[in-house]
Structure 1
Amino acid sequence: MGVGKGSDWPPYFLVGKYNSKAKYQVSLIGKGVLFDTGGYSLKSPAGMETMKTGMSGAASAWGVINIIARTNQDIGLTVYTPIVEKWLVGPR
């Protein structure tokens, strides 16, 4: 997870499980880049507006498991999301 080396916070790999004994099982994987400056190709001011959209895959995956659990669906769901901050040099 070299992407997170410039950040002050270490990367994490989160796993969430719901109803793991259900007959029908589904897995979701969502990218979770919480803040993406663009690395060596620094983003322009216009590109800064979307620096947090790299977490939309992880947010969607966790949203799905939330809805499935709240509505007591009879399926098993496992969510895998790497969570990282992509800085060239951290905010220190």
Structure 2
Amino acid sequence: MTTADTQHQETKDKTVTVTVDGEPVTGVPKRTTPNAILGLAAIDAGTHYLVRITGRHQHSFAGRGEEEISVHERETFVSVSTGPTPTA
């Protein structure tokens, strides 16, 4: 194994794949921020916040987008818009 292969494996070991809004997001560092996860999912952290879904429990990161969190392989998140809700 070359040095580059070793470095790639170490990087891979420190990242996970999570789901945001039903879509897989790869390369998420195990220690990261909710805003960084939104960025990797191509969601604007300025207009959205992240919510972790664990079974029936929802853990909101509203107003805490820069707080460092630990994430695990196959965790599920949803994004929530902070903008106005359109009415019919």
TM-score (norm 1): 0.26
TM-score by length of 2: 0.27
Q: Is the radius of gyration larger for structure 1 or structure 2?
A: 1
Structure richer in strand, relative to its length: 2
Greater length-normalized contact order (CA 8 Å, ≥ 6 residues apart): 1
Q: Which has the higher helix share?
A: 1
